[in-house]
Amino acid sequence: MSGQQPGWFPDPSDATRWRWWDGAAWTDQVGENGRRRSVPLAPPVRRVRLPRWAWIVIVVVALPLLVILWPVVAIAAFVVLVTGIVALWTGKRTWVRFPSRRAAVGATAAAAAIVLATGGVTAALPRASVAPTIAEPVASLTPTASATARSTPEPVVSRTPHTVTTEVSVVAAVPFEKSSVDDPTIMRGETRVTTAGVDGESTAVYRVTMTDGVETARVLVRESVTRAPVSEVTSVGTYDAPAPVAAAPPAAEQSGSEGCDENYADACVPIDSDVDCAGGKGNGPSYFDGVARVVGADVYKLDGDGDGWACNG
C-alpha cells in the first residue's frame, strides 16, 4: 500500500468490510453494511503448518468417524455449505463469522466435498442397511412436509449496492520561497525584509466513489496552482562607511596658511598659490595632510580620482 492515495479499501483483517487508509498506514475506522465505526486493526494470524504424518493421522481417524456418523456430518456440512454460499454472495460474515473471504471460500469448498463424500458413503453401504424393513409402514418412506421444508434452503435475497460518484475539490497551501539580494544603501551587517512572503494555493480535484455512504475509491483528476506564492526578499547591506577624516593641523603650523579654502570641507585646506597632498609628488609651496570633501571647485587638483574627496589616496 506504500504510495497509495488515502481512501477506503478492503480490510486486510476482514475482507467483508472496508478500512480507511490515510496514505501512510491503516486506521481504526471501518465501514460495514453502510455504517462507520472504530475497530482496531487485528494483528496478522500466524499459521501453523502441520507435518505430513499429522495429516495422515487425521485422515485415518476421520474416515471411520465419517462412515459411522455420516448423517450428522452430512447435515452439518450442508448447513456450512449454504452459509458459505450466502456469505460469498452477500459479502456478510453471517453467523459462522468467517475471518476473510479466503476462509469463506475454503470452508464452502470443504463443506461441498464432505456433502459429496457422505453421498458416496451412503451409496456404498449395503442395501439392507438403508432399505426399510417389511414391518415398517409404507408411509414412513414418504417425507413429511416439515422435513421437506427443513431440507430446502431459504432463498437468498440479493441487494444491489448504491454507488454514487462525485468530484471533490481540496485546497492546499503552497509555501513561498525565500531569497536575498545585496543592497548598497544599507550598512554592511544589516538586513531588511523588503518583500513579505505570501503562501499560494493549489486546488486538487478528486473523483470520489461512495458505496452505501462509505468512500470506496478516490482518484486524482487534475491539480493546478490557483494562486501563485509571493517570494520573500531580504536585502543584505553592503555599504561601508568611509574612514574618519583626520583632524587638520592648526593653521599656525601650516606654511603660507592664511585660513582655509572654502572649496573644501570636513578639513582645513590652506589658501596658497598652490597646495599639494602631503607625501605626494607635488612641490608645494603648501601641503595638505588629511582628507577633505570637495564642495566647490578643485582649485588645487587634489581630487585626482574624481570621487569628490581630496587627498584620499
Domain spans of the chain, in order of start: 52-151, 163-239, 247-313
Query: What is the pLDDT, as a whole number, of residue 241?
Result: 79
- What is the chain's Cα-based Rg? 50
Question: Is residue 311 a contact partner of residue 302, using CB atoms and an 8 Å limit?
Answer: yes
Strand partners, 37: 30
**pTM, whole model, 2 decimals?**
0.28
Render pLDDT for 49-59 as a digit per residue (tens, 0 to 9).
778 788 788 87
Query: What is the pLDDT, as a whole number, of residue 129?
Result: 43
State residue 205 phi and psi, 5-degree precision: -110, 125
Residues 123/128/134/136 CA torsion (nearest 10 deg):
-60
Chain centre to alpha carbon of residue 20: 14
Helices (H), the chain: 52-68, 70-90, 101-124, 127-130, 145-151
State residue 225 phi and psi, 5-degree precision: -90, 110
Exposure class string for 133-146: b at 16+ Cβ within 10 A, else e: eeeeeeeeeeeeee
Question: Is residue 193 a contact partner of residue 233, using CB atoms and an 8 Å limit?
Answer: yes
Query: What is the pLDDT, as a whole number, of residue 213?
Result: 87
Mean pLDDT of 64-93: 76
Q: Which pLDDT band, with edges at 50, 70 and 90, does 138 fall under?
A: very low
Cell (9 digits) for 137: 409402514
Q: Which of 275, 307, 170, 214 is nearest to 20 (CA)?
A: 214
3 state DSSP class of 207: strand
Element (H or E) spanning 283, and its range? none
The string of DSSP codes covering 249-271 is PPGGGSTT--SB-TTEESS-PBP
One-letter amino acid of 11: D
Q: Which residue has the higher pLDDT, 120 or 168?
A: 168
Report how far residue 19's alpha carbon sits from residue 31's, in angstroms, rounded to the nearest whole number.
6
Cell (9 digits) for 86: 450466502
Question: Is residue 222 a contact partner of residue 267, using CB atoms and an 8 Å limit?
Answer: no
Render pLDDT for 186-238 as a digit per residue (tens, 0 to 9).
988 899 998 999 999 999 999 999 998 899 999 999 999 989 999 999 999 88
Q: What CATH number does domain 163-239 carry, 2.20.230.10, 3.40.50.450, 3.40.50.300, 3.30.413.10? A: 2.20.230.10
SS3 content of the chain, % helix, strand, coil (to 5): 25, 35, 40
Cell (9 digits) for 224: 493546478
Q: Which of 296, 306, 307 is nearest to 260 (CA)?
A: 296
Query: What is the pLDDT, as a whole number, of residue 281?
Result: 75
Mean pLDDT of 10-36: 84
